Amino acid sequence: MKHSSDSQQGVSTEAIQASFNQHLRQGMTRKAALHLTIKQQVTAGELCYQAKLPPSRVLAAQLAISRDTVELTYGQLEAEGYIARVVGRGSFVSYQQDTLIGRELLAVDHMGHALLVERELSAHGRSLLIAAHAPHTRRSGSLTPSMPDLRLFPIDSWLQLERQAVRQGAERLLGYADPQGLVELREEIIEYLRRERGVKASAEQVIVVTSSQQALSLCTQVLFNPGDRVFVEEPGYQGAKKLVQSAGLIAQPIGVDQSGMDIDTLVQTKEGGRGVYITPSHHYPLGYSLSIERRLKLLAWAQREKAWIIEDDYDSEFNYNGLTTASLQGLDQYQRTLYIGTFSKSLFPGLRIGFLIVPPQLIPPMVAAKQFQDGYTSALPQMTLFKFINDDFYAEHLRNMRKIYQARLEILHTAVHQYLATWTQPRLPQGGLQLVCPLADAATERQLILAAAAQGMKVYGLIDFYTHPPGEGALVFGFAAYNPDEIVNFIKKLSSIFSTLPESI
């Protein structure tokens, strides 16, 4: 259905509203929902070339959102080439379908490259595109959260072990391997987790994967149907939320306080849910641990509703007071918890090895899903990792890194207290790879991030971890991947930028 085939006619706000509401129900922010609605209607040809869009005031009133949100969205669509805004006349669709080597063009990006029309994609392909997001990488003009220091990895020992592994079993390692993972590695992993994390499982329940990301992707495939609701933390890890959305599931945000995810709200959600993705040991990024009372409530809910708990235990190796919280999986008597771990933080993300521990009844479908996804995780790095753990390099590396990261955290904490005290007084967290520095409110966060960006400095804020814009504000600094000079210089530079701003924004 075309909303307007006549360039002079206005576009009906009702047509926009229906799709906008649908995206909102899928857990998108208002701005993202409006952006996607208009973009999809333009590229599908439902909004024709030169069709006039509703004035921002009218559309804002119709959708019950702020005029600012509409203005920002129109601005973004204009920058992307979908619409043109003419002073005194309004906003018009400027995108024209064209053909290139037999394909329709969506638009031309800022480099002049043609983009494909979305409707050529499958429904799943479209949901992947919608959920796409930038990966986290260490940046030099930043203190990127959640990154380990790759410069301190004992690469020579690793390469030596790798050579040894090839010498001892080239034929086995260079051929096809078990989709579930090398049994030696699975045994090492489970022994470590039983001892350190109180996990209750056997090596048969371990599936070696390339990452937490893949583990979660297997869960979405095997456990849920499109349209199912999965609860996620708000704020929380965007990689997980986006992945849940990309699988056609509803990622329903649930708030977090000092005792972790608000399990009462989750339990009382009237639409119900088929699962939950949670970081109970050390919430990402706030660092709280889920209280025992909430753990028991969550387990009882999962048992009652036959829902699945996906526990992401991504950085428990980095606890600086020697007291780690035991896993939720170890407390689960009902076999409703799937436990995800990764070597991306404890070793290096480029290794691409993580693991998924599943209840016994889920082993066959999960292994099948892994096999269909990529066959198996590369065997040579698995064997090298087995040797690295077995020869005690892993324990030694963790001991070293814990000491270094703890010292860096203290340096960052002191620097923030010394140079940014006007804005924030953060508490020292017990662990993790980032420091959250609370601000007066979200508006202050936005102003500080923009002021830093204007000087070429990328600063992360709570907004980067939220689905819906939060009322509260905080800056989030990573410290593990940066040496003391880099940390102190970054904070000093920020301090001089912020000193030009009024003290209360």
Ligand X SMILES: Cc1ncc(COP(=O)(O)O)c(C=O)c1O
Residues forming the site for ligand X (CB under 6 A): 136, 146, 211-213, 237, 239, 279, 284, 312, 314, 342, 344, 349, 354
Task: Measure the CA angle with vertex 114, ends 109 and 120; round to 5°.
Answer: 115
- Least distance between ligand X and beta carbon 110 (Å): 28
Instruction: Give a three-class secondary structure readout of 101-134.
Output: CCEEEEEECCCCCEEECHHHCCHHHHHHHHHCCC
The rounded distance, in Å, linking the Cα atoms of 398 and 426 is 26
The rounded distance, in Å, linking the Cα atoms of 340 and 336 is 13
The rounded distance, in Å, linking the Cα atoms of 312 and 326 is 13
- Least distance between ligand X and beta carbon 315 (Å): 7
- Least distance between ligand X and beta carbon 191 (Å): 20
**Judged by CB, which is closer to ligand X: 205, or 346?**
346
Which letter does DSSP use for residue 200 in this model? -
**Judged by CB, which is closer to ligand X: 377, or 444?**
377
**Judged by CB, which is closer to ligand X: 37, or 246?**
246
Grouping H, G, I as helix, E, B as strand and the rest as coil, residue 63 is helix
User: Exposed, middle or buried, 369 (CB in 10 Å: 0-12/13-18/19+)?
Assistant: buried
**Tokens 């924030």 correspond to what residue?**
424
The rounded distance, in Å, linking the Cα atoms of 346 and 343 is 5
The rounded distance, in Å, linking the Cα atoms of 210 and 352 is 5
- Least distance between ligand X and beta carbon 216 (Å): 8
Residue 479: closest CA among 420, 399, 405, 415: 405
Which letter does DSSP use for residue 458 in this model? B
- Least distance between ligand X and beta carbon 136 (Å): 5
Which letter does DSSP use for residue 367 in this model? H
**Judged by CB, which is closer to ligand X: 41, or 289?**
289
- Least distance between ligand X and beta carbon 332 (Å): 20
**Judged by CB, which is closer to ligand X: 210, or 444?**
210
The rounded distance, in Å, linking the Cα atoms of 419 and 330 is 43
For residues 56 and 13, is the Cβ–Cβ distance under 8 A?
A: no
- Least distance between ligand X and beta carbon 342 (Å): 3
- Least distance between ligand X and beta carbon 144 (Å): 9
- Least distance between ligand X and beta carbon 481 (Å): 12
**Judged by CB, which is closer to ligand X: 344, or 384?**
344
**Judged by CB, which is closer to ligand X: 69, or 467?**
467
The rounded distance, in Å, linking the Cα atoms of 197 and 366 is 23
**Judged by CB, which is closer to ligand X: 118, or 311?**
311
Peptide bond into 235 cis (omega under 30): yes
Number of C-beta neighbours around residue 291 at 10 A = 16
**Judged by CB, which is closer to ligand X: 74, or 237?**
237
- Least distance between ligand X and beta carbon 384 (Å): 17
The rounded distance, in Å, linking the Cα atoms of 11 and 5 is 10
**Judged by CB, which is closer to ligand X: 354, or 461?**
354
What tokens does 280 get?
A: 């109970």
In whole angstroms, how large is the CA radius of gyration of the chain? 25
- Least distance between ligand X and beta carbon 436 (Å): 13
Pairing, β 434-439 against β 354-357: unpaired
Q: How many helices (H) and strands (E) does the chain have?
A: 16, 16
**Judged by CB, which is closer to ligand X: 95, or 284?**
284
